[in-house]
Amino acid sequence: MAEIRAAAGKDAGAIAHVHVESWRTTYAGIVPEAYLASLNVAEREASWREWLTLDVDVFVAEVDGDVVGFVGGGAIREPVEEFDAELFAIYLLREAQRRGIGTALLRRLAVSLKARGFRSMVAWVLEDNSSGGFYSRSGAVRVASKEMEVGGVMLLVVAYGWVDLGMIGAGVW
């Protein structure tokens, strides 16, 4: 099983690698190929170095000492109903998927956000992304939708919401 721990500045490169590789495998056929090909690990690493200094909760999943996934969240950026926190990102390398690691990352984030006083959480997901089932199985329900530009194309994104972070942390699913 994976070890889940708080991310540190030294993890920025590994997180960037997972982020880019996950986008390329998860969004192939959804996001324009030219955009996916343009993703750059070095640029993402710089962004992640900055993100890791902000007021966000970021956790990594390690297997045999290698980062295979991460999750990040914090205060909601755009109001959605009664939700006060947002899952900004959760990504796993393809070989780490369907092993319970994503669930463990989601639970760890929920526990952390709840400890910080947040009550609920929302995640924006590309509608054509097959991970919608993951969110539904974890107890989230679809609560909103909007269009978002990615790589020069407008895509539909849907918000999945958990009204009680405690339910995620308790593993009631």
pLDDT the model gives residue 172: 41
pLDDT the model gives residue 1: 79
Confidence of residue 137 (pLDDT cuts 50, 70, 90): confident
Which domains, from first to last, does the chain contain? 3-169 (3.40.630.30)
Q: Which of 169, 161, 3 is closest to 82 using CA atoms? A: 161
Q: What is the reported pTM?
A: 0.92
pLDDT the model gives residue 171: 47
As given in the structure block, the two tokens for residue 54 are 């902000």
Residue 12 is given by DSSP the state H
pLDDT the model gives residue 130: 77
**pLDDT per residue as tens digits for the range 47-106:** 999 999 999 999 999 999 999 999 999 999 999 999 999 999 999 999 998 899 999 999
